Amino acid sequence: MDAAVAKRPPGFDAVTARWPLAIGLAALIIPTLITLARENWTTEAGIQGPIILATGLWLFFSQKDVIREHRRPGSLKLALPVGLIAALAYIAGHAFGFLVVQVGATILICEVIFYLFYGAEVCRRLWFALLYLYFVAPLPGWFQDRLTGSLKEWVSASVTHILSGLGMPVIREGVVMYVAQYQLLVEDACSGLNSLTSLFAIGLFYVYILHQATARYALLLAALILPIAIFANMVRVIILVLLTYFVGDEAAQGYLHNTAGMLTFITALLTIMLIDSVLQRFMVKRSERRSLA
């Protein structure tokens, strides 16, 4: 019996003993997840949302021994006002359809309860997991467009320059790219940039898991995530233009709606891994040369 109890997840008994709290959390979390799945995770900008949520929860599970060892009850005086603010934000976000506010408030409420159960020391040690979960909250469309507007222009101009330099009949006028007899809306061709936050989150997860002990190297890789995401989107646009030119607009549109988002994500992740591998080999060789000297 003692062995079975020891294998339970941290906080299992606390949650089951407070079943009204568990029901209340479910009443907040389940509708939020349903709304996320319906309004964001089915779009290209939010396609990586379930991956971020799953990896974020895994971060907590992977630290279960740390949670058990350093668990101390948190301060109710500190948690109560933060929890009230989060509850009001949830109500406002749900009532007015501000999904980013609703999701952010839901996460904050869960983290306040987590703090009450486990205390400040556990939260300090799990700081990355606590912050990482907020990447689940989708940015409003108008903010994404403002954030990525100039990047979309740069990507489309760069792709036009590259392909026209290779002899392809590609030109661009404003927000329209012309490929032979076809025309592509630049906003559609570069819409993968709307998933920059998701790509950045997954990149940070990769850096944290593999290099959390080497802060300077982790910061270097983190700084490369944004240009890597832009490169991945350039690959996406080049493939879209090539499909349009050689196969036709119908095939390109099918690619755009069916596989483009996941291909951009995979390209970015593989590029991060490749750069990481090259840098690691370079650092090993430099270390070997220093030791021989």
**Of 141, 136, 140, which is closest to residue 49 (Cα–Cα)?**
136
Phi, psi of 174 (to 5 degrees): 65, -120
Is residue 124 flagged as an active site residue?
no
CA-to-CA distance for 126 and 68, rounded, in angstroms? Answer: 13
CA-to-CA distance for 55 and 61, rounded, in angstroms? Answer: 10
**Of 242, 273, 239, 276, which is closest to residue 259 (Cα–Cα)?**
239
Question: Per the residue annotation, which of 38, 190, 281, 289 is the catalytic one?
Answer: 190
Is residue 72 flagged as an active site residue?
no
Question: Per the residue annotation, which of 236, 281, 286, 290 is the catalytic one?
Answer: 236
Using a 10 angstrom Cβ sphere, with 0-12 exposed, 13-18 middle and 19 or more buried, the burial of residue 77 is exposed
Q: Among all chains, which residue has been given the structure tokens 């392809």? A: 168
Active site amino acids: 190, 236
